[in-house]
Amino acid sequence: MGYCRIAAPLLLAAMAVFPGLASAQRSVPHLEDLPRRALDTLDTDDENTKIVIYTNNTWSYYYTDLDRRVDKSVYHDHWVTDRVFAYTDIQLKDLPPVMELKLIERYEDFHAPIVGKVYSKYGRRGRRNHKGVDIPLQVGEPIYAAFAGRVRYARFNSGGFGNLVIIRHENGLETWYAHLSRCNVESGDYVSAGTVIGFGGSTGRSGGPHLHFETRYYDQNFDPEHLIDFETGDLRYHTFALEKSYLNIYSRASETLEEDGEDYERMLLATSDADGELTSEEIVNNITASEQAAIKREKAKTDPLYHTIKRGDYLGKIARQYGTTVKKLCQLNNITEDTIIREGRKLRVR
Ligand SMILES: [Zn+2]
């Protein structure tokens, strides 16, 4: 990860913080060179939300209660370390239409959690919701904090995430890293972008080694591919306008990025091939490890099993050893309780 990771087109794209304005910006070149000074402020329907117009023809939302939002109290309020959800008293309907998330100031403020192809995307998966992205990995690969922040949760989660790390960032965003072979941080730790927060694994409900990565705001999930191009390890925005409509399992980053224009054509090419039906590999991976183990156990129960008689063996002892009864052993081998069993003979026990 060098500083070159954020490519020039992405810097340009970062200017287009607000998708609705992207087309207007593209028609006038080099707007990013113009001074960006506030020109005017407009009211909106929400008394706490204003629109600021800048001299370089861009605009942004301004929240009159912004201080409260970005205050370091973010690391103390709604601070829950033993449950994954922290904002149970705040509903989706309570959130504003657009939330401006300042992601980085300098290039080193971001580090891809892992670089690799997303083989299972955010969205509906059959009858289940897949609330993050899956990136295959080797067990033990380091997993990095995407941004600076404070670790809120770092423990084994019995709900299916396995070893799970949740980091809260100063802008309120939370990033989730699941199925780790082990956590490398503890709740309460402050981390920088690029801190190794754990190691890749397959703990919890996982069909094979992969990172399940989620991005959440006030517990509400959105497609992590809005923020990160996992295949290149690039961050897409310096400041991200999180629209409320993105906080929805049916809202996918590829659709929004497509509207943003040509700059993302390469990215779309890289990600669109997985949009269709599940591949057989995904289906296999979706069968959980525990389900696979259960199938194996079930199958094993019906397979015949044999025991070779050793010195000192007798029917009662063998029955106990295999969790069966003398009567069953006799039936299976067509013998009686009085039959003398010789050393070396194979006895069917199941
Ligand atoms: Zn997943």
Structure-block tokens of residue 45? 């329907």
Q: What is the pLDDT of residues 41-81, one digit of tens each?
A: 888 887 777 777 777 666 666 666 554 444 578 999 999 99
Q: How far is the CA of 281 from the centre of ligand 1 (A)?
A: 14
Domains, the chain, with CATH or none = 3-284 (2.70.70.10), 304-348 (3.10.350.10)
Cα separation of 174 and 169, whole Å?
Answer: 6
User: pTM of the predicted model, to two decimals?
Assistant: 0.57
Q: How far is the CA of 286 from the centre of ligand 1 (A)?
A: 9
Q: How far is the CA of 81 from the centre of ligand 1 (A)?
A: 22
Q: How far is the CA of 273 from the centre of ligand 1 (A)?
A: 18
Q: How far is the CA of 119 from the centre of ligand 1 (A)?
A: 9
Q: How far is the CA of 296 from the centre of ligand 1 (A)?
A: 24
Helix boundaries (H) for the chain: 8-15, 22-26, 66-70, 253-259, 265-271, 280-286, 289-302, 315-321, 326-333
Q: How far is the CA of 130 from the centre of ligand 1 (A)?
A: 6
Q: How far is the CA of 224 from the centre of ligand 1 (A)?
A: 12
Structure-block tokens of residue 321? 């050893």
Which residues of the chain register pLDDT less than 70?
1-36, 56-71, 258-302
Q: How far is the CA of 26 from the centre of ligand 1 (A)?
A: 36
Extended beta strands in 145-295, E state: 149-157, 162-168, 173-180, 182-183, 190-191, 196-199, 210-217, 220-222, 228-229, 234-235, 239-243
Q: What is the pLDDT of residues 224-277, one digit of tens each?
A: 999 999 999 999 999 999 999 999 999 999 887 765 544 444 343 333 333 333
Size (the chain), residues: 350
Structure-block tokens of residue 272? 């669109």
Coil, helix or strand for 72? Answer: helix
